[in-house]
Structure 1
């Protein structure tokens, strides 16, 4: 999926091509976005901006995806785009653009903002597995590698069981925000063993990276500190130790390790 096994995770309204280029020396993948694709999610994004959240709201979101991915063609990093939609057609369009750029299309079933959930996107999709699987299949049919960004601790959602369904629908990767339920990563890894598993939340150093890797994650991702090269450098070193050298040092050697 990508090497090194460290990704920069999307931050709504902040993660663009310039951001990805800054992270590129340290990561194997950069998830741009998220971006709202259809009328319902774009209206939700406008409402979120009105209460001072940051969002990408270009006039043409599909053209924006193409422009951003084109800007990354010379960068030494695999690009991905996190998207939110309540309907299928724009997902197919975005996935086709991602396929043209050998980029990953990531379906956002993660955003928990009330406006986005009310629009039928984001976290609401975790409770509607049929619709989420349909979105995954649509993106896969358009030729893109497909990731699904999910989160733990959503009431009524059996994430391991849903993960197995998503894998069957065509998901190549699962990007799991573990919240405060890190052991669920191991359950997802067991439920969808052939799917590339990216673990997210609180990854800051060797100890936190190793915890997820020990649970069976294939990679880890960094959100808020993704613009901090010092943090990225030390996580990259830890990931390389785990996957490349086999030198799995004691994660408690140093708080800055």
Structure 2
């Protein structure tokens, strides 16, 4: 899916084309976003900015913004992806088509735990509604893009390995798992999911990289330190060491 097997995880309102290009020497995939696609999630994003002083991408036309950011990476030596949040399928299909035209990954966000986004019916709330999440995955897949799903562990009432199997059947090509403080969950998800598995959380160097890869991950991702070349170099080198051994 990408080489080197290091991904840059989306950082809400910060992960744009310039961010991805700056780190292209260290990673094989950069997931831009997150991006609110429909009225409900855009409203939630505006509330998050107003109430929490968060950064969010709030373009007038999210699909045009997505396409423009992907086009800005057309000549970069890194595969692009876009993490998106939505409660409706039409804009998700449109985003998937734009990603498919550019060989970019469309990442469905079932990860954001901000109350405004969850109350709108997006983000982490989708983990508790496997039917709706699988519907989003199927819609994005049918529209042509390579589909990733960003999920998190340690959500009450959610059997993540069982959900992983369901998303596999729905057409997910990749699962991007924030392991939180439950790193062994990667092994459990690996047993349920046949697609590409990316492990996230606390990835900083050789120890964490090799732990996740030993649990069965195909790649790792870096979040907050994704603008730190020293961390990225350590992660890239540790990943190469593992797969070259």
TM-score, scaled relative to structure 2: 0.99
1:57 equivalent in alignment to 2:49 = no
1:117-176 deviations in whole A, cap 9, x for unaligned?
A: 000000000000000000000000000000000000000000000000000000000000
The 3-state SS of whatever aligns with 1:179 is coil
Match of 1:185 in 2: 186
TM-superposed deviation, 1:22: 0.5
Cross-structure match for 1:250? none
Q: Secondary structure at the match of 1:134?
A: helix
Q: Distance in 2 between matches of 1:48 and 1:75?
A: 32
Which aligned segments of 4 or more residues in structure 1 are displaced greater than 3 angstroms?
Answer: none
- Structure 1: state its 5+ residue gaps: 247-257
Q: Distance in 2 between matches of 1:124 and 1:195?
A: 23
Unaligned runs of 5+ in 2: none
Match of residue 88 from structure 2:
87
Q: Give the corresponding residue for 1:150.
A: 151
Residue aligning to 2:25: 25
Aligned partner of residue 202 in structure 1, secondary structure: coil
Instruction: Give, in angstroms, the shift of residue 182 of structure 1.
Output: 0.5
Q: 2-side partners of 1:23 and 1:171: how far apart?
A: 26
Q: Partner residue of 1:133?
A: 134
What is the deviation of 1:106?
Answer: 0.1
Q: How many residues align?
A: 244
Q: Which residue of 2 aligns with 1:241?
A: 241
| Deviations 1:27-58, CA, capped at 9 Å, x for gaps | 00000000000000000000000020110000
- State the TM-score, normalizing by the size of structure 1: 0.95
Return the alpha-carbon distance in structure 2 between the equivalents of residues 213 and 172 of structure 1: 18
Query: How far is the alpha carbon of 1:71 from its aligned partner?
Result: 0.2
CA displacement, residues 55-81 of structure 1 (integer Å, 9 cap, x when unaligned): 000000000000000000000000000
Alpha-carbon distance in structure 1 between the residues aligned to 2:21 and 2:230: 15
Distance 1:114 1:81 in 2: 22
- In structure 1, the residue matched to 2:123 is 122
Alpha-carbon distance in structure 2 between the residues aligned to 1:22 and 1:99: 23
Shift of 1:12: 0.2
Root-mean-square deviation over aligned CA pairs: 0.4
